[in-house]
Structure 1
C-alpha cells in the first residue's frame, strides 16, 4: 500500500490519542482541502501490512484513524489493513458518501468492520470550526451501530 505517513498521538482525528494512517492518492481534489499533498497516488512510500502493524505496535495505540488522501482509492490495500487491525478501534475518513460506498462490495466489507465512518467531501463553502473531527457541515460521523443498521 502507498502511504504518506503514520502519525502517532494525534488528538484531532478522533477521540483520544490516536495513530493516524494517511493513504496516498485522492480522486476528489476538494477545493480548500487541508491535505492537498495527499492527492498524488505516487506520493509517500510503499508499506506492507506487516510494516504498518509493526509501527502501530511500537507506538502502542489501540485507537487507529485511517485517512488520506482517500483510503478507498486503494481498496485492496484498505481491506487487507482493516483485516489486520481486527480488535483495534478504527475511525475512517472518506470523501465518498455512505450511499456511494454501499455500491461496492469491498467498501461494504470495510464498513462492517470499523467503529466510525466520517463521510463526504470537504466543501469549502460549508466550513464550521466548531465541528468535532469534521471540516464542513455536510460531513457525517457514523458510528458502528448506524453502519450496521445501514448494512443490514
Structure 2
C-alpha cells in the first residue's frame, strides 16, 4: 500500500481557510474530475479529469496541520467520489488528526450505497464522511437562502446515522455541527 506521501490526488484547488463550505473554519479540497457536468455548475473547470494539478494526501494533511484553527476538511469538486480511493485515505488521515469531514457529491446517498460493489473506494470514502451533501446541482432548484448547498434537491445527510439505519438520515447543520 502507498504511503500518504505517495497517495496521489488530482486537484482543481485548495482553499486553506473557508467559512462558506461548512461550519467552522475549514480547509476545502476541490477534486478534479466530475462525471455529472451539472448545468449551471459553480466549478465547471473541475469537470475534465485531465485538468488541475497533482498533489498527495500527505501534502494536504501537512497543510491542514499548519492551521490550529481548522475544524475540519470539506471535500468538494468536481466530485471526490471520482477519485474515491485517494479521498478516502485523505479523510481517514484527517479523522485520525481530529478533523471532521464534509463531502459534497453529485451522487445521491442511495446511488453511493448501490455502487459499493462496482466502484472502488466508494464505501471507504462514505464511511470516513461525517456529513454528506448529496445530489446534483439543479439550476431550476437553485436557492441563495440554503446554508452550504446550492439547490433545494441537495440533502444534508448524517452519514454515520444513515449507515447504521440503512437509509438516508437528513440533518440540519445546527443540530450536530453548529459552531
TM range (shorter): over 0.9
SS at match of 1:56: helix
Matched, 1:120 2:135: yes
TM-score by structure 1 length? 0.92
* TM-superposition CA deviations, 1:22-64 (whole Å, max 9, x none): 0001110000001101111122211111111111112332311
The aligned residue for residue 18 of structure 1 is: 26
- Larger gyration radius, structure 1 or structure 2: 2
Contact 1:4 1:23 in 2 (8 A): yes
Matched, 1:43 2:54: no
SS at match of 1:92: strand
Structure 1 gaps of 5+ residues are none
The aligned residue for residue 104 of structure 1 is: 115
* TM-superposition CA deviations, 1:92-118 (whole Å, max 9, x none): 000000000002333222222221000
The aligned residue for residue 79 of structure 2 is: 70
Contact 1:108 1:151 in 2 (8 A): no
The aligned residue for residue 149 of structure 1 is: 164
The aligned residue for residue 31 of structure 1 is: 39
Quote the Cα distance in structure 1 between the aligned partners of 2:151 and 2:103.
Answer: 16
Contact 1:112 1:151 in 2 (8 A): no
TM-score by structure 2 length? 0.79
Q: Please list every run of at least 4 consecutive aligned residues from structure 1 whose deviation after the TM superposition is greater than 4 angstroms.
A: none
Equivalent residues, number: 152
Matched, 1:89 2:104: no
